[in-house]
Amino acid sequence: MNMLELTAISKQYPGGVQAVDQFSLTLKEGELGVLVGPSGCGKTTTLRMIAGLETPDEGTIRIRGQAVDGQRPQDRDVAMMFQSSALFPWLSVAENLAFGLAKKNLDRRAHRSQIEAIARQLQLEDLLERKARTLSGGQRQRVALGRALLKEAAVLLMDEPLSSLDRQLRLQLQDEILRLCRQRGQTALLVTHDQSEALNLADRLVVMNQGRIEQNDIPQRIVTQPATLFAAQFIGERPINLWTVRIAAPQSFFQPSRIVWPAGADTVVIGVRPQQLRARMIGPASQPEAEAALRGEAVIEQFHWIGAQCFGSGSLGGRLVEFSLPEGANSQIGDRVILSAAASALHFFDPETGRRLSHAAISFSQ
Ligand code: ATP
């Protein structure tokens, strides 16, 4: 069942800012959707229109299959959680949680058991009688999450719910959001500008730019087949390497015999993620991979660590590129390395529109 359906919704604010432009999205029951994009791209406005806090100029919003246009926020089947959710500071955690309860007609014992159950799941059991004003930021966000989940709404809307927390807490709460939404079959739409949070949480990921959708897909496909240059640049722990290439005269490190060029183009932008641009130390045994579509040499100028993985950067054909270094390599700044990438690691984009050029055409040329 589709719990949330947005069809071509648009919103222009007074003053002419087109905050959201022809935005469509469907979330099935139990799906966790994530809107990701730079500041000002229209994420919050989209959420506010679903909640009924803003009115779209065009388009339709359906919740559980019913159009909600014109309905007041309190009449829509949604629950909300924000970056700094307002709790009642003088009330206890249990009392704050009770505000979320969906079935107000249950007796007190039933209420209490629901509150205790969610408190257990969120590790708040020992804090139930504490006043909200005495809680830490992470504990407060847990209470806000519990309160929103207790509402048992068709759709849970979360606007940057973790952005005020430190990294450790953020990761912990990401896991809790995922686990609890899964357990309860809760459909949810979360907004973040943090691409790694988006990748961790999303069943369905929507990359937004200037009010429009750049790509709406499962996270894995957004990483492996970015639909636009913008999506390719926005998603990824390290910046994707990009070259503008004239097909008639490509840079010498491209191996034209290993590349099937997209039909009909004379200039393309080629992207290669640092993870797929592999460096090997130059030594007696260092033969470049015969099938590589990109092959060149660089000098390591800098190291960049992402967790346990080490990337290097250096100049290739006169521009700075990032590449992955083999695990355990004892490389030093100044070392020469051989860089290579397979044809399948190359992403092609139209330089005018920024759109991906036919992936099917990219394969090993024999
Ligand atoms: P952030 O990540 O910074 O919260 P966002 O992606 O959520 O940004 P929105 O808050 O939806 O973006 O804003 C989209 C655009 O609409 C921005 O240019 C913003 O300045 C503008 N905007 C938002 N609210 C209003 C308003 N009430 N009046 C006029 N313009 C607004």
Cα(32) to centroid(ligand 1), Å: 23
**Residue with the nearest Cα to atom 11 of ligand 1?**
42
Query: How many other CB atoms sit within 10 Å of the CB of residue 106?
Result: 13
Cα(140) to centroid(ligand 1), Å: 26
State the chain's mean pLDDT as an integer.
90
The HSE-up count of residue 306 (CA atoms within 13 Å, CB side) is 13
Average pLDDT over residues 10-33: 96
Report how far residue 208's alpha carbon sits from residue 206's, in angstroms, rounded to the nearest whole number: 6
Cross-strand pairs, 67: 62
Q: What is the pLDDT of residues 259-288, one digit of tens each?
A: 989 888 899 999 999 999 999 988 766 565
Could you tell me the pLDDT band of residue 340, with boundaries at 50, 70 and 90?
very high
| Ligand 1 within 6 A of CB of 351 | no
The angle that helices 108-121 and 137-150 make with each other, rounded to 10 degrees, is 130
Q: Which residues of 66-90 are buried (b: 16+ CB within 10 A; e: fewer)?
A: eebeeeeeeebbbbbbbbebebeee
Atom of ligand 1 nearest to the CA of 44: 7
The confidence score (pLDDT) of residue 364 equals 43
The confidence score (pLDDT) of residue 309 equals 85
**Residue with the nearest Cα to atom 31 of ligand 1?**
13
Atom of ligand 1 nearest to the CA of 191: 7
Q: What is the pLDDT of residues 133-171, one digit of tens each?
A: 999 888 898 899 999 999 999 999 999 988 877 888 888
CA distances 219 to 71, 126, 137, 343, Å, are: 33, 37, 29, 22
User: Residue 278, Cα to own-chain centre: how many angstroms?
Assistant: 25
| Ligand 1 within 6 A of CB of 39 | yes
